[in-house]
A and B are shown apart, each in its own frame.
Chain A
């Protein structure tokens, strides 16, 4: 975290207050375009209201461009709006699976106007680990629980929009368990897909302990960027690994 390296883009006046340091990540001028997919209208309304309130102080971090209650509508809305980030419930009506993974697969290859792929953040209340893993293996960039605070959700959206991965403590715990890292299995080389490297294990453990990325960075004497790289690498392993336990373990287990 280095406040001196702020690069005011365009005509940002040099305000002495430095008010919007809450996000801490670059201060992009354009808000993140978000589509909200959840089959409960009450929940959609709640998230919108909460996020709007959380953003009311500073500049708008995200802008809601659409919402959808089921798989087909979601795919249609996402293809039409090409948002930066889709907040996606794991369970949705419609689709051949449980819904969430179907949406991710149905929108494969859709890109935003800026040319980056549409990114998905799984948001769910209580689900079987296998469903969450299915959504992530379909391509979602992260998983957070619905009990997340609005402020954390805003920063998670920001992070996913930047192409980083977002792991809740529970997902980190799951990864440690499923990759056998909790039992001491460590990859010899970083590229090994079926195991975590020693550093990735450390990062996952700290996230499971409830540390924020910048706290992880401080604890391990590395930069936040490096932490993000490690988390993204773990996400890649989670998506690509053919490790048998990954699905076998997830069966019948709940993340929450």
Chain B
């Protein structure tokens, strides 16, 4: 009998409800949005859509429409309105949609709406009941009422919840309340028109009610249009981003992989390619398109990468702090480059570099793991490089020192802080 194991409904026998209540509470199912099924057959499927949306019997909906159509044509108007404005989707038509009532409040609301509709219908059918009204007034009122309900129902549960819960402290409910009161006033004004209130007041209220009605009608559509627009925008942006990533991967990673395959016999080349590509990819992924030479840390990092690329020896660089890139910084980065080249050429890996940029100046250390060397046996060019490192640092108010260690060499570079900065 129960097809979907949903929440027990008042329509089911008590035994079934008791049996269904035994398992753990099922989260309240969300109501399906009001859309018509494409496979509905020869009718537009309005009744079925409404039935599925409200979770009531299709027969009941049809009956309601017929009653409304007979009583002044409101049912026809509502039907056409719904037909024109609800979307179509591929949903398998259900013989008997599951009756779902997620909240008792909603059910009471529907009951109230139904009572109002029935009362209005009766009033129309029996002119002598007390209120003397003409159909020409009632039809728009009913149409507006039904339209508003329908328009609001078109939003699915999640959207409506968001709307109602938006704003601090139940502003959403306030909005709904004010809207309802206004609508009521508008309807009253229409009904008592030309009798107990002045014509101006009456016209104003009528205009106001139409305005409010229009607003109530328009708001959900505006929301829907806007959300559709946003969804399309996001989708387009995602597609563009995807294309960008694909293009970049093609230009970089795929090319490098091809190169690696071609040079697979040369492990050093493979290492160099892989390392360079890894670095490039990492920069692209994490650093964004900055690549500026504005800061000393960035300049120093670039120098280390360049040395790595030229010689294919990995350089482990650690930088702490940062400062603007000025002429002394240029000197330091050049000296660092020389020191790194030296370490890479003459020392043994791993080559490590540490640059500390602080308020008391800059200190840079380059370290390799060579077997050590005899200072006298150092070839002239290396000594020359050392001199140039030393000389360059001294010209910029800094210092350089080369230390021989048991298992390698360490070059220390120092720069004073930038003038004008507190030390």
Contact = CB atoms under 8 A, between A and B. Distances in A.
Nearest to A177: B320
Contacts of A170: 316, 318
A160 B289 CA distance: 39
Contacts of A172: 318
B318 A208 contact: yes
Contacts of B321: 177, 182-183
Nearest to B412: A209
Contacts of A147: 314
A149 B352 CA distance: 14
Given A177-B321, A210-B350, A254-B286, A182 B316 contact: no
Nearest to B407: A215
B359 interface: yes
Interface residues of B, number: 20
Nearest to A149: B350
B308 to A, nearest CB: 12
Contacts of B350: 149, 210
Interface residues of A, number: 20
Given A184-B360, A210-B316, A205 B354 contact: yes
A61 B132 CA distance: 100
A209 B359 CA distance: 19
Contacts of A169: 316, 318, 352, 354
A176 interface: yes
A170 B352 CA distance: 11
B253 interface: no
A183 B318 contact: no
Nearest to A126: B282
Given A172-B318, A177-B321, A183 B358 contact: yes
Interface in A168-213: 169-170, 172-173, 176-177, 182-184, 205, 208-211
A147 B350 CA distance: 11
Given A173-B320, A176-B320, A210 B352 contact: yes
B286 A173 contact: no
Contacts of B354: 169, 173, 205, 208-210
B356 A256 contact: no
B356 A205 contact: yes
Given A183-B358, A254-B286, A209 B365 contact: yes
Given A169-B354, A183-B358, A184-B359, A256 B282 contact: yes
Interface in B320-339: 320-321
B210 interface: no
Contacts of B273: none
A176 B320 CA distance: 7
Interface in A125-150: 126, 147, 149
B357 interface: yes
Contacts of A210: 316, 350, 352, 354, 367
B319 interface: yes
Closest 6 A/B residue pairs (Cβ): A210-B352, A173-B318, A182-B320, A177-B320, A209-B354, A209-B365
Given A183-B359, A208-B354, 6 more contacts: A173-B318, A173-B319, A177-B321, A183-B321, A208-B318, A210-B367
12 contacts: A169-B316, A172-B318, A182-B320, A182-B356, A182-B357, A183-B321, A183-B358, A183-B359, A208-B320, A209-B410, A215-B405, A254-B286
